Amino acid sequence: MRGWGLGILLSVIGVGLLIGGGALWRRNHRFEAIARATEGVVVSTPRARPAGGGKPVYQTIVRFSTEAGREIEIKGSVSSSSRSYSQGDKVKVLYDPATPETAQIDSFMERRFGLVILCGLGTVFSLMGAGALAARMRTGL
Buried b (16+ CB within 10 A) or exposed e, 34-55: ebeebebbbebbeeeeeeeeee
Q: How many angstroms separate the CA atoms of 51 and 109, rounded? A: 22
In tens, the pLDDT along 25-66 reads 999 999 999 999 999 999 999 988 777 777 889 999 999 999
| Domain residue limits at 13 | 5-138
- What is the tally of structural domains in the chain? 1
Residue 83 is predicted with a pLDDT of 85
In tens, the pLDDT along 79-126 reads 888 888 999 999 999 999 999 999 999 999 999 999 999 999 999 999
Picking from 127, 79, 75, 130, the residue whose alpha carbon sits closest to that of residue 104 is 75
Question: How many CB atoms within 10 Å of residue 112?
Answer: 14
Whole-prediction pTM: 0.80
The 3 state secondary structure assigned to 68-82 is CCCEEEEEEEEEECC
